Structure 1
Amino acid sequence: MELIITFLVIALVLTLALPAVLRHSRRSKFNLPPGPKPWPVIGNLHLIGPLPHQSLHALAKKHGPLMYLRLGSRPTVVGSSAAAARFFFKTHDLSFSDRPNTVVGKYTAYNSSDIVWSSYGPYWRHVRRLFLSELLNAKRLHSFYSIRVDEVHALLRSIFNASPSVLLKELLFAFTFNVISRMAFGRQYVAQDFEKGIDEFMLLHGVFNLGDFIPWLGFLDLQGYVRRMKLLSQKLDVLYEQILVDHEERRHLEGDTFVAKDMVDLLLLMVDDHPTTDDDTRLHRDNVKAFIQDLIVGATDTPSLTIEWAISELVRNPEKQRKAAEELERVVGRERWVEEDDIPQLPYLVAIVKETMRLHPAAPLLLPRLAREHAVAGEDCGGYDVPAGTRVLVNVWAMGRDPAVWESPEEFWPERFLGSAVDVKGQDMELVPFGAGRRMCAGYGLGLKMIQLVLANLVHGFEWLPPAGMRPEEVSMEEAGGITLTMKVPLEAIVVPKLPHHLY
């Protein structure tokens, strides 16, 4: 018995001491970025609050825009500046193009086989090309233009019918889901069947699961996240399986006359249910389900959240809303709705979208990357080392509040983008809401089209006011947790139709 107790004590001491020993060894070998002193075992995890992007922003103010943390046993570097983003996404993009293994990828993304969580390699490159060249290319997106127009008009009618008081979040989710449902699946599915699952999905992607950072605690699932991930995966799999069955039944009925009509049809044509050892780029049934999930999540959550934040800012800033409405009336007139071709002639509207993405990026903390090899930052980032195996986080929420880049960064001021060449398409590191480099969001083009078109029509067709008895500045802009930036208090606004009634 005494021998067992002695062994347990020694094991505990080694467990507590090992992180400090490794940290000392690592720091003596590498010129690591500055950061807070870690505690034994948990490292710096105790410094991460329920809104990680805000916690990391506060730490970066103290330790610098390139900061080193130990999250449990995982070495992590956090970038919070345009220079850091340039280092990760441009100068050494290939070095930082991998993903770490996480339980959320394992249990909610079909063993990390989707485009988001799959490791960098032949499979990921094949899937990336598939998305860009087959599913989301410019020609295909243009071919679905009529779907986007139909659903925008349906959204506007829903708002008109719900007026004067509108809870925007639910209507926006239904709109974005209907668009991707018709584009990707060839028909409308019921948005409400997916909504709670997608909300849970986004929440679980934003948590800091202890097992990812302290692996020997993983089997305990102390926070209960793994159990929730497994339950969620089972529920969503039933929905995705039904989508596949519906498509296979149509293909069987049409026989030799079958023609691929939507994205799932194209994916199923590429499926090979007989895996081989000599080709690791083959697609299987679970891969298609993973891609369906990517399409739903990417096309619903990001656009709807961005639009809700934008309208909230316009409710809080009536003079900005009037300026946008005047531009729309001047360019579009009062006898029709805004069309996608009008957007280039609406610089102030485009500036509102950019300013919203600066202050309220849909993904405030981009999904983690993993250093495939050792890289050294340039002098603009301090010349620090980032060793192979280090996790990398880029805090775009903090970047949008950098006073060295943005004048009055906490102020909603779209005018800052008028005449500015800064864009959101991954080339300007000051503003990367969709990420940049190899791991940039593959569907950013579709997302941007939907955000701009919907926001333009919402401002063109309605005046947006705070709830009765509330002043504009009292509209809550408090944030909730999750991988995406959601409003803690969903916007409920008073809407006043402005155009002739026959348009609604």
Structure 2
Amino acid sequence: MAWLPIANHWRILRKISKEQIFSVPRLEASQGLRQEKLQKLFDYVHECIVNHQLVDVGEAAFITSLNLLSATLFSVDCAQFNSDSSQELKETIRAMTKVVASFNLVDYFPVLKSIDPQRVMHKSNIYYGQIYSILDNIINQRLRLRAESSEHMEKNDFLEALLDYSQSNPSEFPRDRIKHLLLDLFVGGTDTTTATVEWVMTELIRNPEIMAKARNELWDVVGRNNKVKESDISRLPYLQSVIKETYRYHPTGPLLIPHKAEVDVEINGYIVPKNSQICVNIWAIGRDSNIWSNPDSFDPERFLKREIDIKGQDFDLIPFGSGKRMCPGFPLATRTVPLMVATMIHNFDWKPEKGMKPEEVDIIENFGVALQKAVPLKAIPIKI
């Protein structure tokens, strides 16, 4: 979906995504599924405390975000904590995004396409094939279930809606398009959410006083013994400020998705020729001292003093893009990221690995389609 021009096929995909998964009624109906996955995250962290184990925060965030998404899309869990297969799936998705972001000579010298000198296409075919195999199995199982029982109770998930739409519009939306759309949502949603949560937790561990403020807000608004619900998010301005500051300081899509100029256009005296590919460097915008005071400091307080949203209207902060090509998963991301962070800090404190001071937790970035931590965050959870 991200690479398609604005035409009929793109409009169909956007419409289906908006109506069948990211609409408010759909998201409200699937709240229970997300609460189950968050409870599993809580239980996993608690188990690590009992067993005196470090938590690989990125790994825990990946498994939770993957299951949050897969439960919504297919009503199944695709990963388990402490599972080798989950680690392999994470590495496959990370490898896919790395290949997409890699420099490829073929883009500049198409005559080399058949040779594939850097083996970029070869690698991408392997990684995409692995994910397509998983999706094929899920689709086949659902089709068998639909065919074998006339009393089949339809699942209230995205896959069921896609199969119904495909059945009614076979030429417009064949099976391959179902698979491609699921791949977009499956990979794109998991990788970016995981990276964001890992960056939030990195900064909270580096700044214990900020973590304490966010936790105290949770205790004041939600209570110490109550579970955080999606309806609570709007009443947690400090937690939202922490996440906004993370979007500014560590944007998971540092260059957004490339755009293309459909006609010659003039912007601030510059002519952008038709068919030019446009990259928006939101990483640089977030570090611009003309826009932000002390841009190299992690300071959530700035968003308590300044009205700014992330819905694509305030161009100083557009982590999900803006306009027609804005990320379709925005409504789900703004629910899942705060809930995952809240689950991890509501009843737990976090310390760096033994022998490390909070300020020594690194923030080295690994640039790609998603901005990942170069060194995975591993930390000590403490029950409070």
When the two structures are superposed, what TM-score results if normalisation uses the length of structure 1? 0.72
Say which SS state the counterpart of residue 279 (structure 2) adopts: strand
Q: 2:204 is matched by which residue type in structure 1?
A: L
Answer whether contact 1:303 1:448 (CA < 8 A) is retained: no
- Report the equivalent of 2:30: 144
Query: Is residue 153 of structure 1 aligned with residue 43 of structure 2?
Result: no
Identity %: 34
Q: Which runs of 5+ in 2 are unaligned?
A: 81-85
Answer whether contact 2:62 2:194 (CA < 8 A) is retained: yes
* CA deviation map 1:18-58 (0-9, x unaligned): xxxxxxxxxxxxxxxxxxxxxxxxxxxxxxxxxxxxxxxxx
Q: Which runs of 5+ in 1 are unaligned?
A: 1-114, 277-281, 499-504
C-alpha distance in structure 2 between counterparts of 1:166 and 1:258, whole Å: 39
Post-superposition shift, 1:274? 8.9
Say which SS state the counterpart of residue 259 (structure 1) adopts: coil
C-alpha distance in structure 2 between counterparts of 1:238 and 1:130, whole Å: 23
- Report the equivalent of 2:3: 117
Say which SS state the counterpart of residue 278 (structure 2) adopts: strand
Answer whether contact 1:273 1:284 (CA < 8 A) is retained: no
Comparing 202-211 with 390-399, which one deviates more in the overlay? 202-211
C-alpha distance in structure 1 between counterparts of 2:144 and 2:271, whole Å: 55
C-alpha distance in structure 2 between counterparts of 1:232 and 1:334, whole Å: 43
Say which SS state the counterpart of residue 382 (structure 2) adopts: strand
**Pairing partner for 1:332 from 219, 222, 233:** 222
Answer whether contact 2:254 2:370 (CA < 8 A) is retained: yes
Answer whether contact 2:4 2:10 (CA < 8 A) is retained: yes
* CA deviation map 1:413-469 (0-9, x unaligned): 000000422111111111011111111100111011000111122121111111111
- Report the equivalent of 1:167: 56
C-alpha distance in structure 2 between counterparts of 1:404 and 1:435, whole Å: 21
- Report the equivalent of 1:304: 194
C-alpha distance in structure 2 between counterparts of 1:348 and 1:333, whole Å: 16
Q: 2:189 is matched by which residue type in structure 1?
A: A
Query: Is residue 286 of structure 1 aligned with residue 176 of structure 2?
Result: yes
- Report the equivalent of 1:238: 133
Answer whether contact 1:306 1:356 (CA < 8 A) is retained: yes
C-alpha distance in structure 2 between counterparts of 1:217 and 1:384, whole Å: 33
Answer whether contact 1:211 1:219 (CA < 8 A) is retained: no
- Report the equivalent of 1:440: 326
- Report the equivalent of 1:189: 78
Query: Is residue 210 of structure 1 aligned with residue 73 of structure 2?
Result: no
Query: Is residue 348 of structure 1 aligned with residue 238 of structure 2?
Result: yes
Post-superposition shift, 1:147? 0.7
- Report the equivalent of 1:264: 159
* CA deviation map 1:470-500 (0-9, x unaligned): 11111011112421011111101111111xx
Query: Is residue 457 of structure 1 aligned with residue 346 of structure 2?
Result: no
- Report the equivalent of 1:94: none
Matches within 5 A, 1:335-484: 335-377=225-267, 381=268, 383-484=269-370
Answer whether contact 2:13 2:181 (CA < 8 A) is retained: no
Matches within 5 A, 1:9-20: none
C-alpha distance in structure 2 between counterparts of 1:364 and 1:474, whole Å: 24
C-alpha distance in structure 1 between counterparts of 2:22 and 2:331, whole Å: 8
Comparing 480-489 with 184-193, which one deviates more in the overlay? 184-193
- Report the equivalent of 1:103: none
Post-superposition shift, 1:196? 2.5
Q: 2:190 is matched by which residue type in structure 1?
A: T
Post-superposition shift, 1:235? 1.9
C-alpha distance in structure 1 between counterparts of 2:186 and 2:68, whole Å: 10
When the two structures are superposed, what TM-score results if normalisation uses the length of structure 2? 0.93
Size of the aligned set, in residue pairs, is 375
Say which SS state the counterpart of residue 328 (structure 2) adopts: coil
* CA deviation map 1:139-167 (0-9, x unaligned): 00110001111111110110111124211
Post-superposition shift, 1:317? 0.9
C-alpha distance in structure 1 between counterparts of 2:303 and 2:240, whole Å: 9
Post-superposition shift, 1:257? 4.7
- Report the equivalent of 2:65: 176
C-alpha distance in structure 2 between counterparts of 1:215 and 1:267, whole Å: 35
